[in-house]
Structure formats: C-alpha cells, structure tokens
Amino acid sequence: MWQFFHRLSSPPYFYGFAGRLVPWLAVPAALLALAGLYGGLVLAPPDYQQGESYRIIFIHVPSAWMSLFIYMVMATAGAISLIWHIKLWEAVAVSSAPIGAAFTFLALVTGSLWGKPMWGTWWVWDARLTSELILLFLYLGVIALYGAVEDKRTAARAVAILALVGVVNIPIIHYSVEWWNTLHQGPTVTKFDAPSIHVSMLIPLLLMALACKLYYVVVLLVRVRHVLVDREQSSRWVAELVK
C-alpha cells in the first residue's frame, strides 16, 4: 500500500491514474446528484414551518459542507507540500482553491435566497454568514497569491502558508451557531441524539452531499492533471504526451 502511494506521488504516474479514474467517478457523481435532487425537490414533503422554500437546503447545505471540507483538504495538502516538498500535493492545494471558492460562493448565494423569505432580508452580519464570507476571501486570496507569483514553486509555498493560517476560521464557522447568539439555524443532521430532520429529507440531503464530494474529486483530478502538465512542460513524460 505504501509503495502505491509513493508511486502515486510521481507526476507521470498520477497523470495516467487520474485520467483512468475520472470517468468511473463522474458517472456515479451525476447519478447521485440526480437522485438527490429528485428526492429533495419532488419526493420530499414540504416542511411544516418553511413550506416549499426549505428545499434550497439540498443545494445550500452540501455546498456549505464542501466549502469547509475542501479548505481542510487544501490546508492539509499545503502542509504536506511544505514538509516533504512533493509537487503533487502542491498541485492539489492550488487546484482545490477555485473549487472551494465556487462552493463557498454557492453556499452564500443560496443562503441569501433562503434568508430573504425566512429573515426578511438578503443578508445579515450573522456570525455564521460573516465567517463564511471570510472563507470566500481566503479562497480568493489563495487564488490571487498563486497567480501573482511568477515562480510557481515559491507561489505554492506561499499558498500553503496562507491556507494554514486561514484554518483558524474553520472551527469558527462550524461552532458559530453555538458560540454566539445567531439567526442561523443550528445543527440538524449531526444531532443524532434528537434528529431535527425527517428521513425523507435526510436521505436526499446525504445523497447530494456524496454527489458533491465525488464531483470535487473529479474536478480536482482534472485540474491537478492540468497543473502538473503546465509545470512539467520541459520534462520528457510531458513531451511524450504531445507526440
């Protein structure tokens, strides 16, 4: 197993492996998304308090979860690249940022769309919303920093440091509804002792969450392949690809 992960860190081996893996993950990601959306938008009953407007959670909640998950992947990849100087993990950190920014932006937009009918306003400087907005700025900062530095190895190290500094915002986002008096709804899915969501709504939500994770992996693999080819243009294995 260790030998496999060691080989996987090799850019040419990863490029071929990822290319073979993408189709096998893309199909189940699409099927899970279709099943989750159908279950959430069609089969699940209206909420007894929020009516039909609650259905935005099937996009909002998985997007919010992914915004945190991807940042932790980016920070972990950055830490590995700083310690062991592995090019593959540099590419993983850099490639995760645009995907994470997209999910964070989607979470903020869908949250605003839900907040208008529920709170009577598109935006409040709520602890959860504000810390999520800061997360978006962190993602955009990583993207801008990588693009601003010409030497991409140096840029990757700077990105890793910024990502690690920003990790402090993750527990703030997660626990903000418990630490402060906030308008944002408290935890529901993770309340295993007293669940706050019916199973007819929970199953589509979990299907969407799994679909989003597979989607992230698919897009990440594609982006990492492109980053590796761009950074290894002078290597023999890239030259053989374009023959």
Question: Over the stretch 12-30, which tens digit does the pLDDT of each residue have?
Answer: 999 999 999 999 999 999 9
Neighbours of 195 (CB within 10 A): 12
From CA 139, how far away is CA 124, in angstroms rounded? 21
pLDDT classification of 62: cutoffs 50, 70, 90: very high
Q: pLDDT value at position 192?
A: 46
Query: 238 is written with which tokens?
Result: 């890239």
**Contact status, residue 74 vs residue 223, Cβ threshold 8 Å:** no
Give the separation between CA 231 and CA 87, rounded to whole angstroms: 9
Secondary structure of the chain in HEC code, one letter for each residue: CHHHHHHHCCHHHHHHHHHHHHHHHHHHHHHHHHHHHHHHHHHCCCECCCEHHHHHHHHHHHHHHHHHHHHHHHHHHHHHHHHHCCHHHHHHHHHHHHHHHHHHHHHHHHHHHHHHHHHCCCCCCCHHHHHHHHHHHHHHHHHHHHHHCCCHHHHHHHHHHHHHHHCCHHHHHHHHHHHCCCCCCCCCCCCCCCCCCCHHHHHHHHHHHHHHHHHHHHHHHHHHHHHHHHHCCCCHHHHHHCC
pLDDT digits (tens, 9 = 90+) for 147-171: 999 999 999 999 999 999 999 999 9
What distance in Å separates the CA atoms of residue 187 and residue 184, rounded to the nearest whole number? 10
Give the model confidence (pLDDT) of 95-130 as tens digits: 999 999 999 999 999 999 988 887 788 888 888 889
CA 102 to chain centre: 8
CA-CA distance, 146 to 141, in Å (whole number)? Answer: 9
pLDDT tens figures, 63-88: 999 999 999 999 999 999 999 999 99
The pLDDT value given to residue 30: 98
Compute the distance between CA of residue 16 and CA of residue 228 in angstroms, rounded to an integer: 12
Question: How would you class 67 by CB atoms within 10 Å of its CB: exposed for 0-12, middle for 13-18, buried for 19 or more?
Answer: buried
Average pLDDT, the chain: 89
Query: Residues 131-144: what's their mean pLDDT?
Result: 97
Q: Which residues of 88-125 are buried (b: 16+ CB within 10 A; e: fewer)?
A: bbbbbbbbbbbbbbbbbbbbbebbbebbeeeeeeeebe
Whether this model's pTM surpasses 0.85:
yes
More confident residue, 198 or 33: 33
Residue positions counted in the chain:
243
Amino acid identity, residue 4?
F
Q: Tell me how far apart the alpha carbons of residues 51 and 110 are, in angstroms, rounded to a whole number.
A: 16
